[in-house]
Amino acid sequence: MASAPTGPLGLGAANLGNLYAPMGDEQAHAVLETAWECGIRYFDTAPHYGLGLSERRLGAFLATKPREEFVVSTKVGRLLVPDPGGVGLDVANLFHVPAGHRRVWDFSADGVRRGLDESLARLGLGSVDLVYLHDPEEYGLGAALAEGLPAVAALRDEGLVSAVGMGSKSVEALAAGARSGLLDVLMVAGRCTLLDQSAFDEVLPECRARSVEVVAAAVFNSGLLATATPSESAHYEYAAVPPDVLVKAREIAAVCAEFEVELPAAALHYPLRDPVVRTVVAGAATADEVRQNHERSRGSVPDELWTTLRDKGLIRS
């Protein structure tokens, strides 16, 4: 069993939990099957994604594949508790699934182990390769790290998983995770992108110094960088696009066009310019989006593009 993500491109499975819009089981299967056909072997999910729907769909698919051929990660910190009073859909959390459960924060040792056990049951797997502490900053960073970091490290030390990490969009949380000396991998969400390089200041240097590997997630910043021409109707950071951010995204897209490189291709390649970044994880709502991301990740981007973006002050070195 592999200990960490493999290959330059992995599949993020938030869309399989009906993120932003409903997705049928057949469409979800097509997304996963296309990823497999493209050679993608790292799959990342979480209980948060569709109140467990993403894990169930991913697990049903992986049950048809040889266990030794893929790497799978999930996350701990949120438990799913039945909510008889839940009404309608979970759209407040951006997922179009029945609100029959609610999320309960729990970073304690017992909560982390229970979270892993429940994820394994939904996945239908005997083990996952990697477990991330998920969004500790949203609970209360100090308390979450004090309990959660030793709890996930214990899972690895006892041989229950091969590697442990943290998945977060908070540079403060990520830097603390790297400095702890307890983690193997950081999933840096949206902070190592063409529009947001805030992980460059402290997080990536700490990872290099401590031999912590990085998985770059949300490289399209929730969708704004996912098309060649950024749209004002796209999502940025799971919300509406601020006008100044849209202007910058379009300026970056214009430079990409000068070099005949699609903006999404540049977004996929950019984090991998730092050797500490091992893999980029990208989500997809359709099989075609998987193919496009795969083809873009396999292409090349001229160094002159990065130089031009840097000289125009659009990205950092």
Give just the sign of the alpha carbon dihedral 56, 18, 190, 70.
Answer: positive
Q: Do the bridges between strand 9-12 and strand 277-283 make them parallel or antiparallel, or are there none, so unpaired?
A: parallel
Residue 195: what are its φ and ψ, rounded to 5°?
-100, -15
Find the catalytic residue in 42, 49, 132, 139.
49
Of the candidates 215, 317, 217, 193, the residue with the CA atom closest to the CA atom of residue 267: 193
Instruction: Please check whether residue 221 is in contact with residue 268, taking contact to mean a CB–CB distance below 8 angstroms.
Output: no
> Which one-letter amino acid corresponds to residue 128?
V
Of the candidates 190, 152, 197, 164, the residue with the CA atom closest to the CA atom of residue 280: 190
Task: Tell me if residue 236 is catalytic.
Answer: no
CA distance 1 to 13: 21
Burial class (CB in 10 A: 0-12, 13-18, 19+), 64: exposed
CA angle, 280 as apex, 55 and 289 as ends, to 5°? Answer: 70
Of the candidates 226, 224, 207, 206, the residue with the CA atom closest to the CA atom of residue 215: 207
What single DSSP character describes residue 271?
G
Residue 117 CB: number of other CB atoms within 10 A? 10
CA distance 166 to 63: 26
CA distance 181 to 211: 9
CA angle, 189 as apex, 241 and 19 as ends, to 5°? Answer: 65
> Which one-letter amino acid corresponds to residue 141?
L
The three-state secondary structure class of 165 is strand
Q: Give the active site residues.
A: 49
